[in-house]
Amino acid sequence: MQLISGKAVSADIRVELAEKTGKFAEKFGRVPALAVIIVGDDPASHTYVNNKIKGCAQVGFRSICQKYENGTPQEEIADCIRSLAADDGVDGILVQLPLPKGYDEKYLLSLIPDCKDVDGFSPTNTGLLSMNTPNTVSCTPLGVMHLLASTGVELAGKDAVVIGRSNTVGKPMAMLLINANCTVTVCHSKTKDLARYTRNADIVVVAIGRPDFLKGDMVKEGAIVIDVGINRVDGKLVGDVDFEQVAPKCSFITPVPGGVGPMTITMLLANTLSAAENRLS
């Protein structure tokens, strides 16, 4: 069993991004810029946003962070997004999700132009991915593809099971694996006898948001298991995979923490640089 270190893969990519940022600045006279909008006081969301801002600093990007209290009129936030959308010096706009109750997520996200949609959540970016002509791809599934590539294992022809069907992770993950010529099954909370699928899979990506969901008897010997779960149990970070049971059966597995987690923000930074390059060149 080999551990896939998201921490190490992520660190290597950030070094590359910092170098590319230097070249970008020489060419365009400024560094890439990411704007992050957060509404409300959810502590986990604030931690993610702080890490996004820190990530920008680490690779040399400019960042703008707009914080709004829960209860701020929706149009005030909409105006902020419109002004960032019109600002030529801003390359990426991200609205941290979930928004507090009462805000229309679909409406606010629709104000982000496709060329600045560094989350890859827009209908156009989602559609382009499903047509295998991707523009910007959702950060977490894109990070998983980098982790799979780091194993050196050929993906074409592999049986892959994705557990979870969210618009942000499960669905784009399935698309990326299809585009990589895997045979893909998507399982979810309503799937009957889910282990029937996972037991036959060469690759299992778990993004269901339930601590220790994937057990040892649910995977086959030699499988690659990617754990997207970030669950807080008694203050401790736990994945969706019962690591102790599953790891001994795997050829490769990601730990939590230090697996998929570090990749997500790195992919956001990569998407921001690409968005900047695409817009300016």
Contact positions vs ligand GUN (CB under 6 A): 94-97, 119, 139-140, 168
As a whole number of angstroms, the distance between CA 218 and CA 210 comes to 15
Q: Are 77 and 109 in contact (CB under 8 A)?
A: no
Of 37 and 201, which has the nearer Cβ to ligand GUN?
A: 37
**Taking the complex as a whole, how short is the minimal distance between the CB of residue 273 and ligand GUN, in angstroms?**
17
In this structure, what token pair is assigned to residue 280? 């300016």
Q: How many CB atoms lie within 10 A of CB 86?
A: 9
| Active-site position among 91, 116, 117, 119 | 119
Of 12 and 105, which has the nearer Cβ to ligand GUN?
A: 105
As a whole number of angstroms, the distance between CA 106 and CA 110 comes to 6
Let me know if 190 is a catalytic residue.
no
Let me know if 101 is a catalytic residue.
no
CA 179 to chain centre: 17
Let me know if 88 is a catalytic residue.
no
Of 126 and 185, which has the nearer Cβ to ligand GUN?
A: 126
**Taking the complex as a whole, how short is the minimal distance between the CB of residue 183 and ligand GUN, in angstroms?**
27
**Taking the complex as a whole, how short is the minimal distance between the CB of residue 96 and ligand GUN, in angstroms?**
5
* Burial (Cβ within 10 Å: 0-12, 13-18, ≥19) of residue 133: exposed
Of 30 and 67, which has the nearer Cβ to ligand GUN?
A: 67
| Active-site position among 91, 96, 117, 158 | 96
**Taking the complex as a whole, how short is the minimal distance between the CB of residue 272 and ligand GUN, in angstroms?**
12
The residue sitting closest to ligand GUN, measured at its beta carbon, is 97
Helices (H), the chain: 6-28, 43-59, 74-86, 105-110, 123-130, 139-150, 170-179, 195-198, 243-246, 261-280
Supply the residues annotated as catalytic.
52, 96, 119
